[in-house]
Every structure is written in C-alpha cells, then in structure tokens.
C-alpha cells in the first residue's frame, strides 16, 4: 500500500503541476518587488494602495474600461478601500457619496417625461461605463473592445501580477524606432495576399506609397523577471508593430509573423490595442506618493485584485478559525475513536 500511496501522490502532484501552465507564448508574469500584501493565508489588502488604485482607474482606465459589476457603494463596504466604521452602511458614507457624485451618469430610470437625464451618481449606482454598449466600445477603439475590468484579476492567468507586468512591460522607448519602407522591398503578410501571380496584388504593391513602420529592436527589450532568459532573446532581430497595435511581452499571442529574424527565437508575448498608459506622473496622488509607472501599476493592480474579489478579506479571516476548529475536532475525534475501539482487535 505504501508504494501505491507514494505513486498516487507523486502522479497527482504531477498532473496538478501540469495544469498550472502559463498562457502560451507569453512571458511569465512577475510580481512587483516585495510581492503582494494580499497574498498568503494571512495577507490583506494594503488599503491606501487600493485607494490610490481607484484614483488611477478613475483618472486613466475608466475612459475606456468599464467595471459593470461594481457600484460606488462597494468602495465603502467592509473590506473596501474607503470603508469607515462610523458608516457601516456605505450609502451614508459622505466620502463615498462624494466619490460617486464626482461622476455624472445617465440615470438608469426615466424621469416623469420618460427621458433619461444625466445626474450625479449615488453610492447605489453602478460604476459608469465609458461606452453605451460593446459595439460603441469597439468602434471607438480601433475594433478592439476594451475588456470589462470587474473580475479581470480572476480572469487572467497570473492575476494581479499579470496586470502589473503588462502595464509596466511595454518596451522602453530606446528599443522603439520608425523606419520608412516601400512595400516592394518588404512583403509583410499584411500587404501580400499570398498569391504571387495575382496581378491585383502586384499592382497594389507597386502603387502603395512608402509606409512608416514602427519597429522594435528585440535585443534592447528587457523583460522584467526574465533576466536568465536574456541571452535567448538577445539576438538581433526586429519586431514590426502592426498599425494601431503595441508589443507587450506579457500579452498572450504569437509574434512570429511580425518578427524579422530567426523565427525559432521570436520574442515572447503578443500585440494589443492598448498602448502604454501609465507614463510618469499621469496622476497626482493626494498622499504625496510619487506616481511612477511601477507605483501606479502596483496600485491599480491591487485595486483590481480587490474589485475582483471584495470578500477576500472575509474569506481569509474566516478561514483561520475554521481551520483551528477542524483541527480541534480532528484531535477530539481521534481520541473518541480510539477510546471506542480500544477493546477491539482490528
């Protein structure tokens, strides 16, 4: 039986390890320095950071990304960033009321004439969505609808670390340059329809004027948390950014078609429609924290982690007494069980 147990445990561990694979093609997300305060069995959110994260969301992200599952009242609920023990009901919390009233929303209920008015939001209202619907979001964003951020940390492998890595992972501007190419010289998949004998294709190539391409020198791209692999990607090669797209090593995807170089060593990651957003001092923090890109990414990732599971604090704080209780019950049952069986040969 012992062999069976060891074998089973080993193989079970193996199959669980196999399940925890990273999303194909992308660099593995890394934590900020010092890790996340909410990790581990006793980890809790760093509320000042979550508060700053709300500011980053409000001032930067919310212009494109909705958070439909959140209401302003959530900010003032127990465990939320603006919870005030004096106001157990967040609807009465004046600070939350002010945060809500700061945003003008289209009332979800019609007025007495049947029209929908704009009014300041109340704590009971949902977070304002930047676009009326998904089609509007897509039309305004170059065909790619920005995802809703309500549960984004649960919805991505790597969670908050993924958000942090993505936001801070864009290549440094030193690595980015532009070049002018005439399509006749470089045939990118985008300008070649794949049939060399197609006359329309050839004509298009000849008559298309020179285009400005944004190219990334892969040898200058530093992927945080991937120092060991530096040499692997250190080979010279150019990555051509498609128009309106941005390269990010943490985005799931495949860079091979856009890579000029050894296709076996195409850099990790992919392209996304969102460019780098968190430029230094994009927001001004009220508490005097310096708004570096890393700081803002850290804060907003923590805010989004809170938003994805606002009850995480309750979960962990209930977990400990439950575990202690089960431990005590186990010990009591053991003695009870041994006592009952003490006279039985088994």
Partner 1 sequence: MSGHESSYTPTNGFTKWLDKRLPIVRFANDTVVTFPTPKNLNYWYTFGGILAVCLAVQILTGVILAMHYEPNVNGAFASVERIMRDVPFGWLLRNIHANGASMFFFAVYIHMFRGLYYGSYKAPREVLWILGCVIFLLMIATAFLGYMLPWGQMSYHGANVITSLFGAIPLVGESLQTWILGGPSIGNQTLQRFFSLHYLLPFMIAAVVILHIWALHVPGNNNPTGVEVQDVEKDTVPFHPYYTLKDSFGIVLFLIVFAYFVFYAPNALGHADQSIEANPLVTPAHIVPEWYMLPFYAILRAITFDLGPIPAKLLGVIFMFAAIAILFVLPWLDTSKVKSMRYRPVARQFFFGFVAVCLLLGWCGASTPSNPVFPALQGEDALVVSYTQDGVEATSTYKGGGEAYVDAKRFMDGLPEDASPSLSAVPAPAFTFSQLSLILTFCYFGYFFILFFIGLTEKPKELPESIHKSVLKRHKATSATTAPAE
Partner 2 sequence: MTEQTAQPLDETVDDDRRNFIHIATGAVAFGGVAAFAIAAIDQWNPAADTRAASSLDVDISKVPLGSEIRVLIGGKPFFLRHRTPAEIAEAEAVNVENLRDPETDDERLRPMQDGKLNRAMLITSGACTHLGCVPVGPAQGNTGEYGGWYCPCHGSEYDTSGRIRKGPAPKNLPIPNYVYVSDTVVNISL
If one counts every other C-beta atom within 10 angstroms of the C-beta of residue 269, the result is 24
**187-to-51, 194, 236, 263, 265 alpha-carbon distances in Å:** 49, 10, 20, 16, 20
The reply, when asked if residue 222 is annotated as ligand binding, is no
* 91 belongs to the binding site for partner 2 (CB under 8 A): yes
- Residue 28 or 156: the one with the smaller Cβ distance to partner 1 is 156
CB of residue 329 to partner 1, shortest distance in Å: 5
Backbone angles phi, psi at 319, to 5 degrees: -60, -40
x-marked contacts with partner 1 along 228-247 as a string, rule CB under 8 A: -------x------------
Q: How many Cα neighbours within 13 Å face the side chain of 280? A: 2
* 340 belongs to the binding site for partner 2 (CB under 8 A): yes
Select from 4, 108, 143, 200 the one that contacts partner 1 (CB under 8 A): 4
Closest CA to 160 of 28, 19, 31, 279: 31
The rounded Cα 165 to chain-centroid distance in angstroms is 8
Closest CA to 160 of 315, 30, 22: 30
CB of residue 263 to partner 1, shortest distance in Å: 4
Residue 58 binds which of partner 1, partner 2, none (CB < 5-8 A, kind-dependent):
none
d(CA 321, CA 244): 52
- Gyration radius from the chain CA atoms: 27
* 315 belongs to the binding site for partner 1 (CB under 8 A): yes
Structure tokens at 161: 């670390």
Select from 65, 67, 70, 77 the one that contacts partner 2 (CB under 8 A): 77
* 343 belongs to the binding site for partner 2 (CB under 8 A): yes
Cβ–Cβ < 8 Å for 176, 220:
no
The reply, when asked if residue 64 is annotated as ligand binding, is yes
Select from 139, 155, 210, 243 the one that contacts partner 1 (CB under 8 A): 155
* 325 belongs to the binding site for partner 2 (CB under 8 A): yes
Concatenated DSSP letters of 46-99: -HHHHHHHHHHHHHTGGGT---TT-BGGGGGSTTSTT--TT-SSGGG-HHHHHH
* 280 belongs to the binding site for partner 1 (CB under 8 A): no
Residue 89 binds which of partner 1, partner 2, none (CB < 5-8 A, kind-dependent):
partner 2
The reply, when asked if residue 226 is annotated as ligand binding, is no
* 335 belongs to the binding site for partner 2 (CB under 8 A): yes
Using DSSP's 3-state secondary structure scheme, residue 137 falls into: helix
CB of residue 77 to partner 2, shortest distance in Å: 7
* 327 belongs to the binding site for partner 1 (CB under 8 A): yes
d(CA 223, CA 229): 9
x-marked contacts with partner 2 along 123-162 as a string, rule CB under 8 A: xx--------------------------------------
* 314 belongs to the binding site for partner 2 (CB under 8 A): no
The rounded Cα 258 to chain-centroid distance in angstroms is 24
The separation between the first and the last C-alpha atoms of the chain, rounded to the nearest angstrom, is 17
Binding to partner 1, residues 118-147 (CB under 8 A) = 147
Residue 91 binds which of partner 2, partner 1, none (CB < 5-8 A, kind-dependent):
partner 2
* 316 belongs to the binding site for partner 1 (CB under 8 A): yes
Cβ–Cβ < 8 Å for 279, 293:
yes
The rounded Cα 273 to chain-centroid distance in angstroms is 14
Using DSSP's 3-state secondary structure scheme, residue 338 falls into: helix
Known binding positions for heme c? 61, 64-65
Known binding positions? 61, 64-65
Chain residues binding partner 1 by CB under 8 A are 3-4, 7-8, 11-12, 14-16, 18-19, 21, 23-24, 41, 68-69, 74, 147-148, 150-151, 154-157, 187, 192, 196-197, 235, 252, 256, 261-264, 308-311, 314-316, 318-319, 322-323, 326-327, 329-330, 333-334, 336-337, 340-341, 344-346
């Amino acid at each position: 039986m012992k062999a069976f147990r060891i074998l089973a445990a080993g193989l079970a561990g193996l199959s669980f390890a196999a399940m925890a694979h990273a999303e194909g093609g992308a660099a593995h997300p890394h934590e900020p320095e010092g890790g996340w305060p909410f990790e581990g069995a006793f980890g809790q959110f760093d509320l000042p950071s979550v508060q700053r994260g709300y500011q980053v969301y409000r001032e930067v992200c919310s212009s494109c990304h909705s958070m439909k599952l959140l209401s302003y009242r959530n900010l003032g609920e127990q465990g939320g960033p603006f919870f005030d023990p004096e106001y157990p009901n967040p609807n009465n919390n004046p600070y939350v009321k002010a945060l809500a009233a700061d945003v003008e929303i289209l009332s979800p209920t019609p007025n007495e004439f049947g029209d929908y008015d704009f009014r300041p939001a109340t704590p009971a209202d949902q977070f304002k969505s930047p676009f009326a619907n998904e089609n509007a979001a897509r039309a305004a964003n170059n065909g790619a609808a920005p995802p809703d951020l309500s549960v984004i940390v649960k919805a991505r492998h790597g969670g908050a670390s993924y958000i942090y890595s993505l936001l801070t992972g864009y290549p440094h501007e030193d690595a980015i340059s532009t070049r002018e190419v005439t399509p006749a010289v470089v045939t990118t998949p985008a300008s070649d329809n794949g049939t060399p004998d197609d006359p329309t294709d050839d004509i298009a190539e000849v008559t298309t004027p020179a285009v400005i391409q944004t190219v990334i020198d892969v040898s200058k791209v530093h992927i945080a948390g991937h120092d060991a692999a530096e040499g692997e990607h250190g080979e010279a090669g150019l990555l051509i950014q498609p128009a309106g797209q941005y390269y990010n090593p943490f985005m799931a995807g495949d860079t091979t078609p856009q890579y000029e170089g050894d296709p076996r060593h195409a850099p990790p990651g992919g392209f996304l429609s969102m460019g780098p957003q968190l430029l230094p001092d994009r927001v001004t923090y009220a508490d005097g924290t310096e708004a570096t890109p890393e700081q803002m990414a850290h804060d907003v990732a923590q805010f989004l982690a809170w938003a994805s599971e606002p009850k995480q604090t309750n979960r962990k704080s209930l977990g400990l007494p439950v575990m202690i209780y089960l431990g005590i019950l186990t010990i009591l049952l053991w003695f009870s069980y041994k006592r009952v069986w003490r006279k039985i040969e088994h």
